[in-house]
Structure 1
Amino acid sequence: MERQRFDSHQEHPPAWISGYHLVYIQEGEGIMRVDGDPLLLKSGKVVLLKPDCCIEMEVRSGKPLFLYDFSFTYTMISDKPRQAEKVALSTGHHMLSAKAAVQLSLLLEQLEQRQGIEEPLAQWKQSILFQECMHLVLSDPVSSEETGGTREAIEKVLLYLQEHYRGDISLKEVAHMHGISASNFSGVFKKHVGLNPLDYVTQLRIAQAQRKLKASQPIELVAREVGFKDPLYFSRIFKRTVGVTPSIYRKHRHTDKIITLLPHLNDYLLALEVKPFATLPYGGNDHINGYLPYLARELQETKLTGSWNKPDMDELVEAQPGLILGSNWFPINLETVKKIAPTIPIILRDDWQSLLLDFARFFGKGDEWKLWMRRYEQKVMQAKSLLSLSHSSRESVMILTVTCSEYRVYGGRRQLGKVLYEDLQLTPPAGITTKAHYVCVNLEQIQAMNPDHIFLTTNNSNPSKEQIKNLKETKAWSSLRAVQKNQVYEVESWLNGHAPIKHSLSIDVAIDHLAANRQKPWEAIGM
């Protein structure tokens, strides 16, 4: 097995291969020409190549293309006659399902860890792992339509659209050119690609526009070069897709002076490898030098300005920021801030994935977003596998936050509840739904729910911590099943939030407390 990297700025001469090859695309996009026939490559695709063919590689994005390449031979054992005989293996390509892609990634990581070990049992294990890879690839459910000519036709459509997105495109003509019914074309295309053809072309055009705007080309010229005849229409579509107008994007996407007016926004930026120049301090008692504890090391070079809910206007002016990111969380007068630098109000919402995508589009970090989401999905799959070995997968789990005035039991709509109940599919206590944010309850109601496990936190105030102390001294608390079984886990208050890095760390915490086997195999993923 060999993990290969192909860069866009390097030439990749044709190569002849001998033997069968199983190729799995891990990251990036490109084109593989097999004996001259183009094949679109993207993350999650597997290609089975026959012996004695010519391969040419082309990287289509600015990011490198990473793939795993297995060279192998195989033998079929037959009882009649009782001898090994070479048989033809059907070659081809298809996209793995999301579940199969995660499983294959895990198998590949195990294979990679055993590379170069010559001990016989280790080599036997490598052989078993490779056979599991082959079985997974060949048994992943693919519809009969997908295994036929339709999928290959869609592949050719994608290549055609990537070459001709700048011009006028007639979907009826494209469908006819590739042998697909015009009436069914949009539906078939969306089934295979996930977008309808028009949205896919728009996505191509906007992605190219973002690259061209980096070079400070005039907006009117960029619009024409990516296929928009009307610059005003281009600006409207660009803003709808990216979140800001082309002029703001061109002026500020490169800035190294981003100031965030909410510490939690830094979680999103760091997930995309964007570091803010300055930020407001985190107001929790558990702060580390004014930063959120889990981000303090990454933000040690980021300046602090003002107080937790109010920026220092003089410091903002002196910093001369290129971009300010506000939010709807605290009542900060953004109209005043806008006089200092372009300001984008960030509307926080339950769905952190879509907000992360909005940031990725603005900063041109699409590949980083894809990588983050793929790694997060892998982490979820691995965590669920570990939890399935534990009794906790069949027991009720409560998220209880104690404030100075009330008890809150969280559902699965956002924050830690979304990780435990939606992602890891753990069981909430009776009466709590996965669609609820939280409900306020009294001690008698907590007794009635009587969960097997409790994640206990505060709203990070000293009175709340005193309230937890008082709660623990009650007979009702002592009677709870989770308390009697020593399955109450006090966690940091910042953990009960919703942001990408925070959710990733929440999975670690859940596994540490709930999994029978507490080894975290995803640590190699780097989240």
Structure 2
Amino acid sequence: MQQSFHSVAINPFPGKGEIVVLFAGHAQTAPDHKVGPQVLDYYLVHNVVSGSGTFQCRAQSYDLQKGSSFMIFPGELVSYASDAEQPWMYRWIGFKGNDVDRLLSKAGISADRPVADTSASRKINALLHQIELALRQGTPNCDLRADGYMRLLFAEYMNGNAVMNQTESEPLSDSKRQVDHAIRWLTLQYSQPISIEQMAASLGYHRTHLSKLFKQQTGMSPMSYLLRLRMERAKLLLAGDLTIEQIASSVGFTDALYFSKQFRKWYGTSPTQYRSILHEQGAGRFDCSR
């Protein structure tokens, strides 16, 4: 049996944000080594490298072994203990962040389901090791490196729980997924001089098929949806000091005159006239909504 040890590295430059690594470590526990019952004010994830043990949370007991991960949530009363015959060795990360709950939810992990089977992933343990190494370096950028590895770790947990999540929640249909993908693409690319043909090619869909699905689910064609995005953004920009040419370019038009014609067709007034009314009466008193 291996001799027990305990090693931990603290983040010397913890920041604030969506994910912040606080510390990382690894240990070979002694037989029957127990932690808790206790309550923490941060998140703590363990991954079992070898051996076995038990984890208790919310009146549930989980028997864990190599390839299992268990998540401790802030404010939850938990305890865990290594096996008497084969005490576990594990790695752990303590972390916090304002986006952690959402990311864990996407990975299918919650206080009611705090255990994940990661035996199929070869990357979990390696990423935990890299996070600890980054903190041990203690350089000014170690916090950024650790946070980056932490995002990759979340991605691995999401991959590992993808099948389970699909069976427990209603999966998106192929057509819904295609249209959602197209909407995200248009929302992010409307400022470029793009075409629907380019969008379909980029997403790997047939233009005619995608346009039909898009119209069925949104009530408008992809081109009309793109034009609406551009016009709504242009209307907001007209409240500022950009020239008409600059606004046209900012919403994906290479020709300011053509942009003005489209704006008039959409709102019933030219960009210049709309801006004048905004300046004279205030943006809140002029309604150009369709």
- Using structure 1 for the length normalisation, give the TM-score: 0.24
Structure with greater contact order relative to length (CA < 8 Å, sep ≥ 6): 2
- Using structure 2 for the length normalisation, give the TM-score: 0.42
